[in-house]
Structure 1
């Protein structure tokens, strides 16, 4: 018999973490046609598609409408272009205005996006963190990149656990994380062992 284990956690010991998978990238379009495209070096740091930018705009509207944009204290993103474009597009400031003495979060046409620059005004701080990247790859220039060998799912999960442990050292209580489906899936599968099986199943879905 599966017995639920209940736990009580003081609010000051808790964080609210909003998990966001990046919007559609050009690699997703190619990967739907041929799965092996996900291993292509040319698509490794893929940028968002026009549909991806529409997804970003829709999520930004939702985040603003529900008041979440005023609550987020920190945005953590994978260092890959598609996640950074998603993070900045959703949680960044308004369109950048020339003459305002504040650096943009994203310059105009970043990653051949055709998008206007996005301001850093009135938005939370952003951090790009290597540990929340998609399946990693290794070579001489980048120890996290291999031309044709992807990190094993178990390694992704272990890296995800290290990322969550690091997250606990942060002072912020309400954090948005913009990452990748594989990273989020395998990381979440490593958690929930102390929960009822229904909860464990819920957090482990794709």
Structure 2
């Protein structure tokens, strides 16, 4: 991880501030965690967190094969739908290719008026949990016909397999976050939404940007959105 000086400054978006109020080189990002998935509900029922490091993968609720690329629960769908009432106005929605994030984006922005682009770089931390595997892209496309799937998306989930059964190092996730920021810097949009995952978001805030706001560093709840300003110049 580079020094804070080397990274782009990230600050919470002020109340009432919109894209028209931005200074040169600034962009708004709405950082959204997906709604509750079946794996999250299972963890709540078991009052459990990841125990892979202590007890091995087999005993971790996130490795239950039933939660492979899980769907949203009823509560998760409600959380995602409630985001549509927030008045967020992104010009582009960037989405992780996992089912729960695509469902969340589709419910949060239901009118299909804003372009939606699927990007691998904002996936959950790779390699450890069954719930973070994705289906074949051809299968995902059948369920979600509105988003644009970039050419870089491979049919098989080779990214996950390249780390399995180990956890993707923090530094690699930080680099993915930097990659997406580099890509955003070249985009014309001034306001974007990223629909992604808690592990990615925590590492993004700590390692991909320079953030001095401790409240932004706390864990995201399911269905939570936080709006920030990134200074690109």
TM-score, normalised to structure 2, is 0.62
Does 2:70 correspond to 1:55?
Answer: no
Unaligned runs of 5+ in 2: 10-21, 51-59, 134-155, 220-233
Alignment of 1:4-153 (within 5 A): 11-32=23-44, 33=46, 34=48, 35=50, 36-63=60-87, 68=88, 71-93=89-111, 120=112, 123-137=113-127, 141-146=156-161, 147-153=164-170
Give the greater-gyration-radius structure (CA).
1
CA separation of 1:72 and 1:43: change in aligned 2, threshold 3 A = same
Q: CA deviation at 1:148?
A: 2.8
Flag the structure with higher strand content: 2
Unaligned runs of 5+ in 1: 94-119
Contact 2:96 2:119 in 1 (8 A): yes
CA separation of 1:25 and 1:160: change in aligned 2, threshold 3 A = same
Does 2:194 correspond to 1:170?
Answer: no
- The count of residues paired between Structure 1 and Structure 2 equals 161
| Alpha-carbon separation, structure 2, partners of 1:159 and 1:19 | 15
Structure with more relative contact order (C-alpha pairs < 8 Å, separation 6 or more): 2
Contact 1:135 1:182 in 2 (8 A): yes
Deviation string, structure 1 residues 99-127 (Cα, Å, up to 9, x no partner): xxxxxxxxxxxxxxxxxxxxx3xx10000
TM-score, normalised to structure 1, is 0.69
